[in-house]
Amino acid sequence: MIVVFKKDADIKEIELLKKSLAKKGFHIHESHGENHYLIGLVGDTSKLDPGMLRAQTIVDKVVFVQEPYKKANRRFNPEDLVLDVDGHKLGGGFFSVIAGPCSVESRSQMVSIANSVKASGAGMLRGGAFKPRSSPYSFQGMGAEGLDILIEAKKETGLPIVTEIMSVSQLEKYHDMVDVIQIGARNMQNFDLLKEVGMLRKPVLLKRGMSATLEELLMSAEYVLAGGNSNVILCERGIRSFQKETRNVLDLSAVPVLKSKTHLPVIVDPSHATGIWSLVEPMSKAAVAAGADGLIIEVHNDPNNALCDGDQSIKPEKFDCLMKKLEKYLVLENKLLN
Ligand code: PEP
Ligand code: MN
């Protein structure tokens, strides 16, 4: 971290600040130029509040040299993280597709979709039991009963289950029942929830908030990693923009950018990113080409009557077709479907 002082800064105050920073354990490198006086702080600045420095009347600006996230930083973890979810690998050359309906609606719906997506090559099963809906009058999910149904679908197919947990209280009650805990876009900065999943050792699928920067996403991942849980998957699911043609805008460049900054696997959700079922295939192909480690795709046997997100859900037959097409893209990218 570099601290630049104002031109007319009082030298006694600068000396006091330097002393207090040295007391905190930082090594201080000074640079005097004709038009500037600055110091470089060497040491772990992640716990130093830059606001505390900016608040000083003698300080002109504070410049960061390193990223504020450490445990999520590729600089300190050069190798890709390979996650193992019940034998299904994700990351470091292993590509996994998580598929299933937006919401669990019934046992027959879930088991039928689970069997189809497994036959098509999906590695994990998705399905929301607790749904974050914009309207309190919309279907809120089946709750605990939905989780029981997911477990039945897992027993039938062997597919690990990925499902959203929305609150700390749900986490305490149900975390045992889930293989991958999904933290939804709306909860990406629910720091209490992040701290709690950080205390588990279960994989966490962390979705990017719809207005979150990549650094904010990585800082949220840092919360989980800082608690000791190193099993985090990042998910790009589209961000808010001014255009109205699609539900969100898929930020595809987020994939290579994230992969350069972190060792954590990055997957793409083309369903929520576009909101339109016919765009799921082209965006899935694009995600593979961009270097994603996996996809999470909404598949429904009867989209016209889905209780949630039917318009962005593809039918099992379409999913099967997509998986076949993706095979060639995965070969080009040197990825192994898992
Ligand atoms: C979902 O995956 O069901 C979901 C609600 O996604 P997001 O949090 O990205 O909106
Ligand atoms: Mn959905």
Own/partner long-range contacts of 15-23 (Cβ < 8 Å, ≥24 apart): 17/56, 17/58
**Ligand 1 close to Cβ of residue 58 (< 6 A):** no
Residue whose Cα lies nearest atom 10 of ligand 1: it is: 185
pLDDT digits (tens, 9 = 90+) for 248-307: 999 999 999 999 999 999 999 999 999 999 999 999 999 999 999 999 999 999 999 999
Which residues are CB-contacts of 326 (< 8 A; sequence separation ≥ 6)? 97, 284, 285, 288, 337
Q: What span, in angstroms and rounded, lies between the C-alpha atoms of 197 and 166?
A: 11
Q: Is the pLDDT of residue 196 over 90?
A: yes
pLDDT digits (tens, 9 = 90+) for 74-92: 999 999 999 999 999 999 9
Task: Say if CB 287 and CB 313 are below 8 A apart.
Answer: no
Q: Which atom of ligand 1 is nearest to the CA of 296?
A: 2
For residue 225, give the H/E element and its range.
helix 214-226
> Bridge partners of 37?
32
β pairing state of 232-236 and 204-207: parallel
pLDDT digits (tens, 9 = 90+) for 88-113: 999 999 999 999 999 999 999 999 99
Query: What ligand is nearest to the CA atom of residue 271?
Result: 2
Q: Which atom of ligand 1 is nearest to the CA of 308?
A: 3
Q: Which of 272, 274, 307 to mutate to test the pocket of ligand 1 (most atoms within 8 A of CB)?
A: 272
Q: What is the pTM of this model?
A: 0.95
For 2-63, the fitting CATH number among 1.10.1060.10, 3.40.640.10, 3.30.70.1140, 3.90.1150.10 is: 3.30.70.1140
**Ligand 1 close to Cβ of residue 132 (< 6 A):** yes
Domain residue extents for the chain = 2-63, 83-337
Domains 2-63 and 83-337 share a fold: no
Residue 44 DSSP class: -
Q: Is the pLDDT of residue 62 over 90?
A: yes
For 83-337, the fitting CATH number among 3.20.20.70, 3.40.50.300, 1.10.150.130, 3.40.718.10 is: 3.20.20.70
**Ligand 1 close to Cβ of residue 128 (< 6 A):** yes
